[in-house]
Structure 1
Amino acid sequence: MTIDRAEMCRRVSVPSLSLQGWIEAGWIHASGGDGVTAFSEMDVARALLIRDLTGPMGVNADGVAVILDLVDQIHGLRQALRGLTLAVAAQDLPVRQRIWAGGARFAGGRGGAARMPAPGRRAHPAE
């Protein structure tokens, strides 16, 4: 589902001029064609974050750019981890056990040991 510029401004409670500035800064990537701008639910969430960063939190433009870049990196890493987790889950049990045992060496030094999830369970239940 997509929404237009007016609905985006209403939902985020910002003037159109602010939204335009965020688009020009590359912080929001609108889609659409033929002069029609469309925004996704992901764009709304991102705009709400930008609004909070630039408003009550007082983050300047350079800081917002850094924060958004880090958010994008985290999102990419989570997608990669999800794919890796699915690939590991598709392996036979002995292979999964060796992978998880190898991973425990790395996680153990960071405050916790990696544990292989029970069959049929996700490694990261929050996702």
Structure 2
Amino acid sequence: MDANHGTCVPNGVNQKETGFGYTLSVIGGKYKMSILYCLAEHKVLRPNEMMRRINGIPFKTLSIMLKELEADGLLLRKDYTQIPPKVEYSLTELGQSVIPILHMMCEWGEKNRRLE
């Protein structure tokens, strides 16, 4: 890191016990950032809509990721008592606060990826 930012993982401190470690635990993994970004773009989505937008995510994996993101306070789950049952997800205020980080990652990737 540069001198203006110091270090997020000081020497002698377990990475898991830092802000960096916490952030990774919340948004790390293969699909969590994709789910968050998808909800940022579409505001409210049902699980099947997410599966169509996130290429290759198995339903079981999506279900697990949604439960973890909800437990971490990033997603809001709304159940509708109707037949057939309907569930929708949206970002909480905390979830929305992560989106600028994802935008920065996108910008970095666009700037640094090698065009093929």
Fold match, TM over 0.5?
no
TM-score, scaled relative to structure 2: 0.26
- In terms of fraction of residues, the more strand-rich structure is 2
TM-score by length of structure 1 reads 0.24
Q: Which has the higher helix share?
A: 1
Q: Give the structure with higher Rg (CA).
A: 1
